Amino acid sequence: MFSITTFAQLLKGLPRGTFDKLVVKRNADKHCKRFGHWQHLVTMMYAQLSGTTGLRPLEAAFNSQKIHHYHLGVGQVRRSTLADANEKRPDTVFAETAAWLMTQVSRDLRRETKDLLYLLDSTSITLKGREFDRWTEGTKTRRTQGVKLHVAMEAEQRLPVWSAMSAANVNDVELARSVPLEEGAIYVFDKGYCDYNWWNEIDQTNALFVTRFKANAAVDVVAERPLPAERAGIVLSDQIVRFKHKQNSGRRNKYTNALRRVVVHRPDHDRPLILATNDMTSSALEIAQRYKERWGIELFFKWIKQHLKIKQFFGRSENAVRIQLLTALISYLLVAILKKTAASTTTMWQFLSELRATLFQRVQSEYARYRKRTKDRSEALKTQLSLI
């Protein structure tokens, strides 16, 4: 009895017809004779999921599984062909594939989750040395040289719903302005996203946000909110405030509504946490807890850096780096979709480890053989007992 491999089962989360439409829309395979975008994606995903360390091991490992290539819709790969594709092929189809998967994830989350909490942040990918310096040195900052990966992530299930890439010296809030805002959602971000006009956009969308005031934020206190006695020493103040000035960084400040300023004690810091939010109904502790949830996106970045391949690259051009980062996101999303489909209760790391170990196994066939062996053993045991 035929059954598909675990890898093929994983790719079911991305229907081939949908992917082909993205390719046709961009006429992306016009000059490709054999190594089309589908094979490019599958090969790069295999690199992400198998933990392959370089082009030579990738070529050898992927081609050793040629009996499974037909059902994946691919053929054997040559490292020179893959290197050229990473170097010269635009990342457009990969970016649109990641965006399509995030759209599907976001749609499911809206259907299943009542209160959507989104975490927004960026992480730096350091790129220094031969060939990298050619395109990263001009945009380096005092702290880092390379690129930034920007992500908006749903907090509970830790699923990315939006992503973008930029040079290291691009301010986070510049990319944040392109995040699609949802009515009724809650957005949590740090003070690196301090743009009062963008805050106003979130407010006008009837969404909520929780962030931090900068130390020099000029506000007038409109009212003091009462503090619960049982939280004394934790919540230091809870105030309704308005901005003093109509200008912010030389631009008109469009945020004219009232805000809450919540000051929370931090035992491990000398200074308290000064939070800003347009949520006028939740308790101060709930607001502080939402900001604490922001740590989840830091853990997400740490996870993908540890368990997917976004530290060592198969190419040193900007295009190769972008394609590899996008395939890491695509791989993460497809693994998360398969985990949900399988109703697995294990952690994401355990599920990925099991998937890596069985990537080219035909799971149903293995189970069928196991059942046959068990049945044969049982029949043999019955025969022996009847003879006795």
Query: What residue segments make up the domains of the chain, in order of their start?
Result: 209-292
| Per-residue pLDDT reduced to its tens digit, 252-285 | 899 999 999 999 998 888 889 999 999 999 999 9
Specify the pLDDT at position 67.
Answer: 92
Element (H, E) at 274: strand 273-277
| Residues 79, 77: Cα–Cα separation, whole Å | 6
Structure confidence at residue 4 as a pLDDT band (50, 70, 90): confident
pLDDT computed for residue 373 by the predictor: 63
- pLDDT, residue 1, reads 40
* C-alpha 231: how far from chain center: 35
List pLDDT tens digits, range 303-358. Answer: 999 999 999 999 999 999 999 999 999 999 999 999 999 889 999 999 999 999 99
Does residue 364 register a pLDDT over 70?
Answer: no
Closest CA to 119 of 299, 313, 381, 312: 299
Using DSSP's 3-state secondary structure scheme, residue 147 falls into strand
- Specify which residues 211 forms β-bridges with: 276
What pLDDT digit, counting tens, does each position of 122-132 carry?
999 999 998 99
What span, in angstroms and rounded, lies between the C-alpha atoms of 200 and 267? 32
Distances (CA, A) of 375 to 148, 362, 367, 368, 378: 56, 20, 12, 11, 5
Q: Which of 25, 43, 26 shows the shortest CA–CA distance to 34?
A: 43
CA-to-CA distance for 43 and 48, rounded, in angstroms?
9
pTM of the full structure: 0.89
Residue 186: name the closest of 52, 272, 338, 291 by CA.
291
Q: What is the mean pLDDT of the chain?
A: 91
Q: Which of 189, 204, 181, 182 is nearest to 155 (CA)?
A: 189
Task: Please give the structure tokens belonging to residue 81.
Answer: 């062909």
* φ, ψ (nearest 5 deg) of residue 248: -140, 115
The predicted structure's pLDDT at residue 366: 46
For residue range 183-235, what is the model confidence (pLDDT) as tens digits?
Answer: 999 999 999 999 999 999 999 999 999 999 998 899 999 999 988 777 678 89
> How does pLDDT run across 143-178, given as a tens digit for each residue?
999 999 999 999 999 999 999 999 999 999 999 999
pLDDT reported for residue 2? 47
